[in-house]
Structure 1
């Protein structure tokens, strides 16, 4: 009997220690596209988060507490993302990170908002932060900030007077189409034609024919990664000879890999690039390569930065407190000298949008080259 009581006491003690250890960790859940059309973006984003968590835990965690990160697959479906957000809330998450696809974010962020849980996202649709949600924060530029930079480059550097636009007909694509149209027209650039395409589309011959018939000075492409690669291949097949310009998804390494030579000559504005002439970024790129055996793309950088922003936010308030985190974020400036994981000095506004330097790149011989560095707006 004494031995049984002793064993029971030991088991109880071990269980108690397990509960204490669990209570001392910070449970953060990732809602990411690990399957479906968003797999490329979601897997890279998730890997970026995991690398950040590994580094944060190795340096003492958040406020001395280990981060316990779990990623769940949204399947690139908004309904699934919403259900997973509710699940994360039920499991006591003080912060949720992801999704990447804007359509999923626009649905899932309603759950985190109702629960007053901070949500760091990878999406770029302008509509996300235009809804006055005080609990959502970007790890990337909003389209509203990026597109005026693209339009200025088209006008001032490329002397474009007319522009054809091909975009993907989802929340991401429609938001980008609206913003580039507004920014271009403000610069005196005429939109010669705008052409809608479908998510997952394979054949772009009809869209390209319309773009060629418009005879614009340049083509602006705003589609997801896999579609961008197929579109570039079809542009090459059809002998399209006008400049092709886009945003981050057009110059993604996965796009370049899939498109091959057809990607050469593409010019894109990117908020994040592992090719940035920045020693902090280069050090991150080396660590990412060592961890995953392939080059980090902008999605990986979003996930990595987002997790380090979470750490900086909780450090700012001095406790793991979701509401206090939300109150501290508007106007928060995070210096890369203090938090190297954010990679660049970054400042958040009262909408959850961020400001930092960005870049224009050109694809040359299958690799992106930085051709211009743009300073933060403020």
Structure 2
């Protein structure tokens, strides 16, 4: 068969096609810009969704700011989000998936019952994990890859109990607590402090995770002669409890940790949250310029007021950035090694918002606050020193 003689137009069209093909092949051989992969594993559904969404949004905003400022060590940060569904075993699977996806570090989870399970997977893989959980057991298990974004209840509860004894004159206390990994940690910490301060425990009322009806618990509380009640429940449970307490006319001072008087609780409980008081490691209402700026940016971006979980997520992002740049590489082991015994100041790492330290177990230490809810806001009554 004779070759057909092509016209000039046909020859030019063939040249253009071959040129485009060669260019496409060349592009596939050019390496893409490297990305620092972070796994954000939080409670986006289930009973922990309020806390998890706040934490997730804090992480998002932090890394978006970091990327806008050039990333980490000149590389952009890529965040992949995984829903733990507030289920410990699902969270474990999500941590493994994040590791399989090649993450350098993990942020989350928030619920302690999930973290005590999933952190073992991250530990085995040598991946540093920045958790929002507060159960004492988390930093008591000898895991060199776990780091808090807010100190555990074993550090917060002593501050709160000291204030109750010295400033409120409390002698008799009723205790209402969630019978979960999270609740057990706070309960045990409070009983230890109650003994140290000479509190008489006049009632001990355990509840269940995601409990919806607190009417019977409040009835019991009303029949008890006490100076105050220590309430240690999750945000959603606390809101239900406060509404029921208001409905039944409880006048007893209700004192707790962040999960009793956090902004999500205030939003859910409405006026029923007024008068509740307690210790918070972080509050958007603190008169700290860096905190105020972060809160205003968050509100503008997400159209809601961040709670302590959002601040935890935000500071986790900046902690990762600053530590990676201190060691000079986005290496999981180097980051974990540097975190032990580390202090970050606002002067050197503004995104952490407050000067903060971590000990050899990954436990955190910094100033915190005792607040009372007034007119839907946390009013700072005292600044409490690090311990």
Instruction: Calculate the TM-score normalised by the size of structure 2.
Output: 0.94
Aligned to 1:31, what secondary structure does the other structure show? strand
The aligned residue for residue 279 of structure 2 is 269
Moved over 4 A (4+): 1-5
How many corresponding residue pairs? 374
Superposition deviation, residue 7 in structure 1: 2.7
> Which residue of the other structure, out of 217, 226, 230, is the alignment partner of 1:220?
230
1:15 maps onto 2:28 in alignment = yes
The alpha-carbon deviation at position 176 of structure 1 amounts to 0.6
The answer as to 2:138 corresponding to 1:139 is no
Aligned to 2:385: 375
- Distance in 1 of aligned mates of 2:65 and 2:271: 37
Aligned runs of 1:43-62 on 2, under 5 Å? 43-62=53-72
State the partner residue of 1:280: 290
* Alignment partners' CA distance in 1, 2:237 and 2:231: 10
**Cα distance in 1 between the residues matched to 2:189 and 2:379:** 25
Q: Is the contact made by 2:285 and 2:377 (CA closer than 8 Å) also made in structure 1?
A: no
Q: Secondary structure at the match of 1:70?
A: strand
> Unaligned stretches of 5+ in structure 2?
1-13
Task: Compute the displacement of 1:5 (Å).
Answer: 4.2
Residue 354 of structure 2 corresponds to residue 344 of structure 1: yes
How far has the Cα of 1:106 moved from its partner? 0.7
Worse overlay, 322-331 or 113-122? 322-331
Change (3 A) 1:194 1:13: farther
Q: Is the 8 A contact 1:49 1:303 kept in 2?
A: yes
Aligned-residue offset at 1:214: 2.9
TM-superposed CA distance for 1:102, in Å, is: 0.6
Distance, in Å, in 1 between the alignment partners of 2:285 and 2:27 is: 48
Deviations 1:352-377 (A, max 9, x none): 01111100111111221111111223
The correspondence for 1:33, drawn from 29, 43, 51, is: 43
CA contact (8 A) 1:185 1:191 kept: no
- Whether the aligned pair in 1 keeps the contact of 2:270 and 2:376 (CA below 8 Å) is yes
Aligned residue in 2 for 1:202: 212
CA distance in 2, matches of 1:335, 1:301: 16
**1:235 corresponds to:** 245
Match of 1:164 among 141, 162, 174: 174
* In structure 2, C-alpha distance between the alignment counterparts of 1:194 and 1:11, rounded to whole Å: 70
Distance (Å, rounded) in 1 between the aligned partners of 2:79 and 2:343: 25
Aligned to 1:85: 95
Residue matched to 2:374: 364
Asked if the contact 2:136/2:153 (under 8 Å) is kept, the reply is yes
In the other structure, the counterpart of 2:81 is 71
Contact map agreement 1:220 1:246 (CA 8 A) in 2? yes
What is the distance in 1 between the residues matched to 2:25 and 2:218? 68
Alpha-carbon deviations, 1:162-203, whole Å to 9, x = none? Answer: 111111111111111111111121111121111111122111
In the TM superposition, residue 2 of structure 1 has moved relative to its aligned partner by 5.1
Q: Provide closer, same or farther for how the CA distance between residues 16 and 276 of structure 1 changes in structure 2, counting only shifts above 3 A.
A: farther
Q: Is 2:136–2:185's contact at 8 Å kept on the other side of the alignment? A: yes
The CA distance in 2 between the partners of 1:16 and 1:144, in whole Å, is: 54
Query: Following the alignment from structure 1 to structure 2, what is the Cα–Cα distance between the partners of residues 204 and 256?
Result: 17
For structure 1, the residue ranges without an aligned partner over 5 or more in a row are none
- In structure 1, the residue matched to 2:11 is none
What does residue 263 of structure 2 align with? 253
Q: Is the CA contact (8 Å cut-off) linking 1:346 and 1:356 kept in structure 2?
A: yes
Alignment counterpart, residue 148 of structure 1, candidates 133, 146, 158? 158
In 1, the alpha carbon distance for the partners of 2:300 and 2:235 equals 24
1-structure distance, mates of 2:182, 2:27: 49
Distance 1:375 1:12 in 2: 61
Which of the two has higher C-alpha Rg?
2
For residue 244 of structure 1, what is the aligned residue in structure 2? 254
RMSD over aligned CA atoms reads 1.2
Given the alignment of the two structures, is residue 300 of structure 1 paired with residue 313 of structure 2, yes or no? no
CA distance in structure 2 between the partners assigned to 1:6 and 1:186 by the alignment: 81
